Structure 1
Amino acid sequence: MRINLKRTITVVAAGGLLLGAAACSEDDASDAVSGASSAAESGAAEASDAMSGSDSSESADASSTESEGAGSESEETANTELTEGLQSAYDEAGGEQGAWGAVKSVESADGATLATFENGWAVENDSGEVTPLIGKIGETWANDGGLDNDIGLPTAPESGDAMQGWTQQFENGTISWMQDDEGNWDADIESGQ
């Protein structure tokens, strides 16, 4: 009878430990999911910042400058007024809740207008045609001069996929985002086409 009592106590204790471990692992899993969600949100924000070409220090500097200039009549603000053609394309893309996100700035030069959004760019040429730029191709074009880029304005949206890479046509060539033989992704700019 003592042996049965010891076995019963051992089984009950083991069951308690097992249930306790399961409860802890659910808490750990919940913490892991919460941590993964936070990391994903942080990664998405960083990717968005990288795409728009800004970083947290620039944002902090801009906020500081805006705060210092508050109340002064010479406070500069970014132009965010879209042309009629860009507004139409923006609305068609879903507006602020769409793929492009909120308008960050609008600039014009030589009859062309560049709108910078949270998630990309769109260019309206002097004929009123609007072409989107997204991802690394858009980032490369914008960082290499945007409206003043030697490769010119985009003439068609990018085409391609994650297996083959992406290519976008411009007035004076193409920008491609391709993987090299070693698996590294990089921009390939070909002029004169």
Structure 2
Amino acid sequence: MMNRKIIVSVAALGLATGLAACSNDGDTSTTVEETATETNVSTETVAEETETVSSDASESAESGAAAADGAEATEELALASGETALVPQGVIDAIDKHGEASWGEPIAAEETDGGWIISYDGEHYVTWNEATGGAPIWGEIANVWINDVDGARELGFPTMPETPNTDETGWNQEFENGTIEWKREAGSTDAFEALVTKK
């Protein structure tokens, strides 16, 4: 029993001496402390960078989702009924650019085919999608497009306002994938027909 105590004491003393020897060695101690400090600094830096990258990725994903929905910032559009509709900022910009004061307040806002149609009284509309940036459409060309006459909706959204035909036979309007023309029938002074031409 006595021998065991002495052996255990000697082993404990040897261990303490070994540790003391390590801690007394100035270079080893400094190296250990520096390594521990560098590891902590390195860990903190990685954590901060990871947080920044995660944050940036999150913001980028949100921006990408907004762009994919065709919705930059969402804004409230006041309707003639007193209600409001939430629309992309691009719709508001298109209304400011193409809407006429004489049309009054919008009566409806409809999201369709990846874009928006804002309706006014008197068959006036402002259309918008990200590709076109918006255009007005009205009258018979609007009726042909809104009611999908001869597959007119396949032409996509209008890219510019309607213009008179150079031969004064009617009007035409360019769309993303073609043209709609409202023109006088041959030999007639008052009968018109719609011509839907796909690119």
Q: TM-score, normalised by structure 2?
A: 0.48
CA radius of gyration, larger in: 2
Q: TM-score, normalised by structure 1?
A: 0.49
Higher relative CO (Cα under 8 Å, sequence separation at least 6) belongs to: 1
